Each structure stands twice: as structure tokens, then as C-alpha cells.
């Protein structure tokens, strides 16, 4: 697709969603006015050109959002959970109808390929339907009381407004993981998106707010576009927001956690990933190659679950690395809308510089560059943020291999014994996603045992990248803690209450304590 054709794509996408020119980035039940506000100019990493403008929230806007979100929460919590689920399911139906347009907006502002852009909206749809079913499964336990004529059980109660701070790389899906689960639990949600993907957030909020209005439902979702970390600071310090879910860097997450916990709030932290795949001599090499390549190259290596390290058994090392180099040599890089393109742009110029600096650092620390990554110019899109992917033969004692680089930089290692592979795998500060490629059940089970992968997600014969919404998503160590989306992750968005009922004519005490009056 030429630059001129991409201009047409930009125009068509903005027209379809009504996002041309200047847009309000502040929604608290209604879109705030545009006059007299600071403005953020969104540009596309595909060609570097301006897309649209967004107004930025100030402190007064934030305070209004918190007050309004609390007021709506007091109404929303009175809806029955199944009714809340019906409303969220209707939002999923809306997203089905808007999938192509919103997916195109993800491509435009973030640079994902169309299949990845639409895949992100599909993930939102899946979460909406999952949450709808979950609305009838917010179970508490009933316990046998040691006291006669007593009933003992627990129930789950909504928390209140939930703060959601999302990153650019999944500009819509991560919000849905939190907001739609929180919504069926009875909570409202305040969204502070990455400024780098604020137009996607605005497009999503326009769609869901209109749908809620059509349904006659309360405006349970709020939006606050702010400059840099400013809005995140407000959310972190706000006692009226009992839970903050943050996706981003480890350093920022650590700072946020300290502030939230100092006011006795709760946090869900999805931070850095430095994910490894072990490839054994008993692997299906074709499966391993595809899994590693997708993990390392999808979204131009800008996923928290991207494969950063591959640990390969020495007996197949040369063969596997040779085949991987051929894959890298043939991968198509460029405009994500072009047929056959697998690797689009990095998000901005700063990301390009960080990526190139990491390659040079790896070289200086003793790494051998097997496939050279560099900055690229794509014809007709000269201002885009394109790089070619890199493979570096690395050693475990290189400090850079323990640092997450958000880009298509892959370190390859050689191992001899399986114990050595597991040690190398776990010898990083992060613990998000992991994978092993093997057809040996003993190797598989060791990898999944207590002495195996120390990550929150473990995969067998599939990529570290990507996750289904039915499984709880999250990591260990410096990756943070807490889980989003699947299984019983809903409990993070509610408070547990233990209930004791005495239906007898006396007040017997537990543990045989006597107290007669």
C-alpha cells in the first residue's frame, strides 16, 4: 500500500468512527467540551503523519469523573448480577458489528496488522461474552458452623470505581479484561489509556457509551486522556478508587503500587515480561520454529508475552538457528495493511532508538549478532518507525539479556542438560510467560512441575505470545501480581464478606468460650 493509499485508509477509518479533527478525551457520562484545553496530537507509527487531536483532562476533570463514577456505582450495584451480564453481552454484540472499524483504528494508531487489530476487538467480544456467563457464577462458599443453630457462609460484594491504566500495545483488549469483569461484579470503571493509543480508547468509549445509552443502562465507564503519567498519579493517590489495575513498565508499576498500598488500596500489576522458550532435541522442529517466530515477531515484538529468549539443546542448536535465520531473512516488514506483511512499525521514534541501543549493548557485552536489526525506510512511508528483526547469540552472564527490550530482539542460547535449561529459563527477574517445545512427556512434566517454569503462564508446544481469555492472565516476580480475565479473577474486583447467622434462642460462642450474663 502506497503512502497515498494509506492516506485513504486513514480518512476512511476516521470517517467511519467520527473521529476526525479535534475530539474530547474526557467522558464522565457525557463528553466534556473542547474549548480552552490542552491538546494531544495523535500520529500513526505507520507513516508518522498526524491522525487527529484529543483534549487532555485536568485535575478538575478527574475529580468530576471520580464523583460521577461513585454516583453511578451506587446505582449500578443495585442491578442484579444476571441483568448486568445481559447488558455486557449486548456490548459484545455491538463490538461484533464494529469489529472491522475499530480493528482498523488499532492498525492506524498502533501499527498492528489488520488480523491483529481485528483480533484485539475479537478479544473484547470474547471477554464480554465470558463476563456475561460469569454474572451467574459469582459464587460464595457455605461452611458448617461449629455452633448449633448457626449458618456460616461467605458472599462477594462490589468494590466501587476501579481505575484501569492501560498500555499502548493492547490499547483496547486490556481495558475490556478489567472493565467488563468489573462491570458484572457491580463496579464502575475509570480508564486512563496510554496517550500513544488514546484515539483507540476514544473510539471504543464512543461505541460502548452509545450502546449503554441505547440500552437505557447507566454510563458505567469513564475515560480520561491525560499527558504522560499525570492521570496515573491522580488515580494512584485517590482514596475513592479502591482498586487500580495497571499495565506497563516494572518501574512505573512499582511506584504506583507503593502509592496505592500506602492508602490501603488494592492493585493488579501486569508489568515487564522477558519470556523464554526451551527447544529440546525431542521437539517437532517445524512446530517450534513457527511458535518461536510468532512469539518473537508478532506485533513487532511489542507484546508483554513476546518471546525474548530461546534456549536450544546443543544437539540441534546449529540446525534450529540456521532455519530461524532463514525465517528472519524472508519475513516481510512494512505497512501493516500490505498483504503478507508480518512485522509492522514500532510505536514511535523513542522505541526505535531503545531497540537499536539494546542491540549495540548486547554486542558490547559479548553477544554475536546472527541477524542484524537496523532502522528501515519503507517506500512511501519514510517517516514510519520501521526496524528489521535481530537475532543475537548470547550468554547468560550478559546483563542485557535480563532486561526487557520492547521490539523484535531475540537472544538465542545453547544448553546441554535439561536442568541447565531450566536454570537459564528462570534466571531473569521477570516471570510472565514461558514455553517448551518437546514431544517427550517427561520433559513436559518437569517444565510444568514446581521446579520448572517460574512464570504465571506456561505453554507446551505453542508460543509464549498470545493468551485465551478463559485462562487467568498474569505473572510472578517483577512482572507483578494479580490476574486479569479468566477463571476466578473476578474476585479481585469484589470484596469477600463472611456472614454468620444465628437462628437459635441462645448465643453460643465459638471455641467453647463461656460468657453468661
Active site residue 185: no
pLDDT at 459 over 60: yes
User: What mean pLDDT do residues 290-301 have?
Assistant: 97
Compute the mean pLDDT over every residue in the chain, rounded to the nearest whole number: 97
Q: Which of 196, 194, 83, 71 is nearest to 136 (CA)?
A: 83
What digits encode the pLDDT tens for the residues 82-94? Answer: 999 999 999 999 9
Domain 59-271+480-496: CATH class, spelled out: alpha beta
DSSP string, 154-193: EEEEE--EEEEE--SSSTTHHHHHHHHHHHHHT-EEEEE-
Q: Supply the pLDDT for residue 305.
A: 97
CB 500 within 8 A of CB 145: yes
| Separation CA 413–CA 310 (nearest Å) | 6
pLDDT, residue 2, reads: 56
60 is catalytic: no
Each residue's pLDDT tens digit, 415-430: 999 999 999 999 999 9
Section 426-446 average pLDDT: 98
User: What pLDDT does residue 228 have?
Assistant: 86
Q: Evaluate if residue 413 carries a pLDDT over 70.
A: yes
Q: How far is CA 16 from CA 103, 117, 192, in A?
A: 12, 16, 24
Q: How confident is the model at residue 467 (pLDDT cuts 50, 70, 90)?
A: confident
Look at residue 1 and tell me whether its pLDDT is greater than 70: no
CB 425 within 8 A of CB 453: yes
Q: Which of 115, 125, 108, 119 is CA-nearest to residue 44?
A: 108
Domain ranges of the chain: 59-271+480-496, 275-470
pLDDT band of 309, cuts 50, 70, 90: very high
Catalytic residue, chosen from 120, 238, 270, 404, is: 270
φ, ψ dihedrals at 125, nearest 5° = -60, -45
Q: Tell me the β-bridge partners of 496.
A: 156
Q: How far apart are CA 317 and CA 463, in angstroms?
A: 19
Average pLDDT (203-231) is: 97
What is the rounded distance in angstroms from the CA atom of residue 247 to the CA atom of residue 97?
A: 28
pLDDT at residue 342, rounded to an integer? 95
Res 4 pLDDT > 90: no
**What pLDDT, on the 0 to 100 scale, is given for residue 373?**
92
Calculate mean pLDDT across residues 9-36: 96
Q: Identify the pLDDT of residue 3.
A: 64
Catalytic residue among 118, 120, 304, 478: 304
pLDDT digits (tens, 9 = 90+) for 223-248: 999 998 999 999 999 999 999 999 99
Q: How far is CA 407 from the centre of its chain?
A: 16
Number of helices (H), then strands (E), in the chain: 13, 25
Give the span between the Cα atoms of 410 and 416, in whole angstroms. Answer: 20
Q: What's the pLDDT score for residue 453?
A: 98
For the chain, percent helix, then strand, then coil, each to nearest 5? 40, 25, 35
What is the structure's pLDDT at 443?
98
- The pLDDT assigned to 517 comes to 80
Average pLDDT in the 28-44 region?
A: 96
- pLDDT-derived band at 283 (thresholds 50, 70, 90) equals very high
- CATH architecture designation of domain 275-470: 3-Layer(aba) Sandwich (3.40)
Amino acid at each position: 500500500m502506497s503512502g497515498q493509499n494509506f492516506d485513504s485508509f486513514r480518512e476512511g477509518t476516521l470517517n467511519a468512527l467520527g473521529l476526525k479533527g479535534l475530539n474530547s478525551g474526557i467522558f464522565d457520562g457525557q463528553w466534556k467540551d473542547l474549548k480552552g484545553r490542552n491538546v494531544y496530537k495523535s500520529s500513526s507509527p505507520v507513516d508518522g503523519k498526524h491522525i487527529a487531536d484529543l483534549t487532555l483532562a485536568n485535575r478538575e476533570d478527574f475529580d468530576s469523573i471520580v464523583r460521577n463514577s461513585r454516583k453511578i456505582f451506587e446505582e449500578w450495584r443495585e442491578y442484579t448480577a444476571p441483568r448486568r451480564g445481559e447488558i455486557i453481552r449486548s456490548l459484545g454484540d455491538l463490538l461484533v458489528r464494529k469489529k472491522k472499524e475499530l480493528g482498523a483504528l488499532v492498525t492506524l494508531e498502533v501499527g498492528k496488522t489488520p488480523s491483529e487489530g481485528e483480533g484485539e476487538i475479537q478479544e473484547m467480544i470474547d471477554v464480554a461474552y465470558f463476563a456475561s456467563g460469569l454474572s451467574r457464577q459469582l459464587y460464595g462458599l457455605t461452611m458448617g458452623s461449629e455452633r448449633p443453630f448457626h449458618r456460616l457462609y461467605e458472599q462477594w460484594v462490589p468494590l466501587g470505581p476501579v481505575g484501569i491504566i492501560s498500555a499502548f500495545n493492547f490499547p483496547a483488549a486490556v481495558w475490556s479484561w478489567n472493565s467488563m469483569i468489573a462491570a458484572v461484579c457491580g463496579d464502575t470503571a475509570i480508564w486512563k489509556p496510554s496517550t500513544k493509543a488514546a484515539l483507540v480508547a476514544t473510539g471504543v468509549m464512543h461505541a460502548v457509551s452509545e450502546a449503554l445509552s441505547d440500552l437505557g443502562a447507566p454510563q458505567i465507564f469513564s475515560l480520561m486522556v491525560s499527558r504522560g503519567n499525570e492521570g496515573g498519579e491522580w488515580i494512584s493517590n485517590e482514596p475513592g478508587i479502591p482498586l487500580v489495575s495497571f499495565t506497563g513498565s516494572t518501574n512505573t508499576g512499582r511506584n504506583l503500587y507503593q502509592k496505592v498500598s500506602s492508602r490501603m488500596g488494592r492493585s493488579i500489576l501486569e508489568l515487564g515480561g522477558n519470556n523464554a522458550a526451551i527447544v529440546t532435541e525431542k521437539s517437532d522442529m517445524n512446530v517450534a520454529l513457527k511458535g518461536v517466530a510468532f512469539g518473537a515477531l508478532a506485533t513487532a515484538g511489542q507484546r508483554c508475552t513476546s518471546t525474548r529468549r530461546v534456549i536450544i539443546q546443543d544437539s540441534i542448536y546449529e540446525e534450529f538457528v540456521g532455519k530461524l535465520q532463514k525465517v528472519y531473512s524472508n519475513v516481510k516488514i512494512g505497512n501493516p495493511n500490505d498483504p503478507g506483511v508480518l512485522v509492522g512499525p514500532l510505536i514511535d521514534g523513542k522505541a526505535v532508538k531503545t531497540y537499536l541501543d539494546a542491540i549495540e549493548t548486547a554486542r558490547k557485552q559479548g553477544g554475536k549478532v546472527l541477524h542484524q536489526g537496523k532502522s528501515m525506510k519503507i517506500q512511501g512511508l519514510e517517516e514510519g518507525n520501521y526496524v528489521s528483526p535481530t537475532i543475537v547469540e548470547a550468554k547468560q552472564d550478559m546483563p542485557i539479556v535480563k532486561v526487557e527490550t520492547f521490539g523484535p530482539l531475540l537472544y538465542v542460547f545453547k544448553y546441554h542438560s535439561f536442568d541447565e535449561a531450566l536454570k537459564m529459563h528462570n534466571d531473569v527477574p521477570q516471570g510472565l510467560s514461558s514455553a517448551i517445545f518437546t514431544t517427550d512427556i517427561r520433559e513436559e512434566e518437569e517444565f510444568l512441575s514446581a521446579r520448572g517454569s517460574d512464570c504465571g503462564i506456561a505453554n507446551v508446544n505453542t508460543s509464549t505470545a498470545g493468551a485465551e481469555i478463559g485462562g487467568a492472565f498474569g505473572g510472578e516476580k517483577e512482572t507483578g501480581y494479580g490476574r486479569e480475565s479468566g477463571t476466578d479473577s473476578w474476585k479481585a474486583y469484589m470484596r469477600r464478606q463472611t456472614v454468620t447467622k444465628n437462628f437459635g434462642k441462645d448465643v453460643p460462642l465459638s471455641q467453647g468460650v463461656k460468657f453468661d450474663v
